[in-house]
Chain A
């Protein structure tokens, strides 16, 4: 069975450009989480969804960040406009049943904003 799929795996862009990160959760999982990992701040939860509905977006750093989940098999995290400090690895994770269960992480997207 396929795990969580993220694309692209690497993204290099210039400051001011729009960036869209994509995630396909494991089929049947009803929770989806977006995380950001940096050396300075470690792993931070940005937002999570339950049954495609955003539940907690308190971790989204600024209005430049937005996330959507139009259906159970697809989510996007968008940064517009991007800034160098957004450079990080962005992980998507999914879980099933309750948010208490183990989260299955995707391979991450390494974003570099020049």
Chain B
């Protein structure tokens, strides 16, 4: 069975703080894909990143960075120098190669960034 766990339900930080959102996944597939999506207050989900299981390189995009570690089945997301506009719910998701294109989402982490 595939599973995505986002243990942090809510995080509250002050603007300019760094914040890390945790994601732990379970899968028996040897090939799989991990995603992060952002859901701002407007409600739409916005794609942030996709990483496949063979690529453990960390990635940085502006203030966003992702740390993928297969050894601990984790795919954590860090926002550096957070801003109020980062306030949203963030979802980690998993798609395994034996499940077709069925994406399993974590429960989400609600991030509040206070000015």
| B43 and A89 form a contact (CB under 8 A) | yes
For residue B93, which residue of chain A has the nearest CB? A43
Roughly how many angstroms separate A87 CA and B106 CA in the complex, as a whole number? 20
Contacts of B43 in A (CB 8 A): 89, 107-108
Contacts of B91 in A (CB 8 A): 43
Contacts of A33 in B (CB 8 A): 103
Interface segment, A64-72, A78-86, A95-103?
A95-103
| B100 and A107 form a contact (CB under 8 A) | no
Interface segment, B19-27, B44-52, B78-86?
B44-52
Q: Return the CB mask of B32-43 against A: 1 if under 8 Å, else 0.
A: 010101000011
| Shortest CB distance B108–A (Å) | 7
Roughly how many angstroms separate A91 CA and B37 CA in the complex, as a whole number? 14
Determine chain A's interface SS by DSSP, over half rule: strand
Q: Return the CB mask of B85-115 against A: 1 if under 8 Å, else 0.
A: 0000001000100001111111110000000
Contact of A100 among B33, B37, B42, B105 (CB under 8 A): B33
Roughly how many angstroms separate A103 CA and B47 CA in the complex, as a whole number? 7
| Shortest CB distance A52–B (Å) | 15
Contacts of B108 in A (CB 8 A): 42-43
| B101 and A55 form a contact (CB under 8 A) | yes
| B103 and A103 form a contact (CB under 8 A) | yes
Contacts of A100 in B (CB 8 A): 33, 50, 95, 101
| Shortest CB distance A2–B (Å) | 13
8 smallest beta-carbon distances between A and B, as pairs: A99-B101, A102-B47, A43-B105, A105-B45, A42-B107, A56-B100, A107-B44, A108-B43
Can you give 13 contacting A-B residue pairs, CB < 8 Å? A31-B101, A42-B106, A43-B105, A45-B104, A55-B101, A89-B43, A98-B101, A99-B95, A100-B101, A102-B35, A102-B47, A105-B37, A107-B42
Besides A102-B50, A105-B37, A105-B44, 10 more A-B contacts (Cβ < 8 Å) are: A43-B105, A45-B102, A55-B101, A56-B100, A59-B102, A98-B101, A101-B50, A102-B47, A103-B45, A103-B103
Residues in chain B within 8 A of chain A (CB atoms): 33, 35, 37, 42-47, 50, 91, 95, 100-108
